[in-house]
Amino acid sequence: MEKMKIGVIGLGGIAQLVHLPYLSKLENVTVTAVAEINKSRLNTIADRFNIKERYKDHTELLEKSDVEAVIIATPTSSHKDVSIDALKAGKNVLVEKPLARTYQEAKQIVEAAKKYNKKIMVGMNLRYRPDAMILKSLVNSGEIGEPFYIKCGWLRKQSSGEKWFTKKEESGGGVIIDLSILLLDLSLWLLDFPVVESVSTKSYYHNTKTVEDTSISFLKCKGSSLINIESSWSLLLEKDSFYFNIYGTKGSASLNPFHVYKKIDDQIIDLTPSQSENALSVFRKSYLNELKSFIGAVNGLNPVYSSADDSLSRMKIVEAMYKSAAQNKEIKL
């Protein structure tokens, strides 16, 4: 089978540490073109990965390169324009999260994908963790009964040191749009996308000015399920912390570490698989699985799982989180 040609637009940390190294491991694709406005970075990274086609402007890549798909890893403020340009040029798209800064920008991207009949996927990599996929199958099969409460959090150092990252007009927000959006997506996916009825959020600005660096949210869903999300760049801990707990009427489960417990005849049974991977391995595989899923979708082998339509729904909830924090009250959706 002929290798799929892929272009990468934006050569920041996520492209250097994830997309380019992982794509180079896959036998059915080849990165033939890259675009980056920083000329020094463009040549340094392209040389490192032996990529001949290199462009300072994404429009030039889209016009001159014969790539079938592109990965967009640029600052969030450019996601709308770059995504729409790529779709218009007939390219399938994987865009890093968040899809856009606002619901309205995200909506324009979704409309463009339908107009030009191309596939667009959003980088919600937590869905692709091996343990999360096992947990999804266990929840779907009713092993823990009816899930009704998720408590999750991600407390870590700031994800990027780039200046645009903490400017609201460029990034769209702080930890909510960086970390909470991934936890929100994972939660709703595991609960089979219940309707979110209301959101209550409290945010803090300890070390930042225009974006929140700590945020706690409670989401009430139709059917009585509840989601509690906390995310932070500023809470002081010995090391980064990621946790995810889901509780059902017959049992419970957690990620990082992966555990599954079920109550049978008044006995608590441990259903945790014996072979469990370490946290770093699981996190790395989430990105590799995400890329494989995107390539499979472009080749027509599987649907687009973390679609732009899904992300559009997430953006509506994210905007309610910001509104709740700003007005200091519960927001009905």
- pLDDT for 59-99, tens place per residue? 999 999 999 999 999 999 999 999 999 999 999 999 999 99
Domain residue spans of the chain: 4-124, 126-289+313-332
124 DSSP β-pair partners: none
Q: What is the rounded average pLDDT of the residues 157-179?
A: 94
Class of domain 126-289+313-332: alpha beta
Give the tokens for residue 219: 């989401």
On whether the CB atoms of residues 24 and 43 are closer than 8 A, the answer is no
On whether the CB atoms of residues 19 and 11 are closer than 8 A, the answer is no
- The one-character DSSP state at 332 is E
Q: Which residues contact 211 (CB under 8 A, 6 or more apart)?
A: 166, 167, 168, 171, 173, 174, 175, 205
227 DSSP β-pair partners: 150, 219
Compute the 3-state secondary structure of the chain and give helix, strand, coil in percent, each to the nearest 5.
40, 25, 35
Give the tokens for residue 162: 């780039």
Number of neighbours of residue 3 by Cβ within 10 angstroms: 12
Which pLDDT belongs to residue 1? 67
- pLDDT for 42-53, tens place per residue? 999 999 999 999
The amino acid at residue 316 is: K
Does residue 4 surpass a pLDDT of 90? yes
- pLDDT for 252-307, tens place per residue? 999 999 999 998 888 999 988 877 778 888 989 999 999 999 999 999 999 999 99
How distant is the alpha carbon of residue 246 from its chain centre?
19
- pLDDT for 102-147, tens place per residue? 999 999 999 999 999 999 999 999 999 999 999 999 999 999 999 9
Does residue 2 surpass a pLDDT of 90? no
Number of neighbours of residue 259 by Cβ within 10 angstroms: 16
Q: What does pLDDT average to over the chain?
A: 96
Query: Which is it for the CA torsion 123, 167, 100, 70, positive or negative?
Result: negative
On whether the CB atoms of residues 93 and 39 are closer than 8 A, the answer is no
CATH hierarchy code of domain 4-124: 3.40.50.720
Q: What is the rounded average pLDDT of the residues 193-203?
A: 98
- Helix, strand or coil, per DSSP, at residue 180: helix
- What angle (nearest 5°) sits at the alpha carbon of residue 293, between those of residues 291 and 297? 120
- The one-character DSSP state at 118 is -
Q: How far is CA 147 from CA 141, 196, 277, 306, in A?
A: 12, 15, 25, 21
Which pLDDT belongs to residue 278? 82
55 DSSP β-pair partners: 35
pLDDT band at 216 (very low <50, low <70, confident <90, very high): very high
| The dihedral formed by the CA atoms of 265, 268, 271 and 275, expressed in degrees to the nearest 10 | -150
Number of neighbours of residue 139 by Cβ within 10 angstroms: 22
- Helix, strand or coil, per DSSP, at residue 139: helix
- pLDDT for 221-262, tens place per residue? 998 899 999 999 999 888 999 999 999 999 999 999 999 999
Q: What is the pTM of this model?
A: 0.96
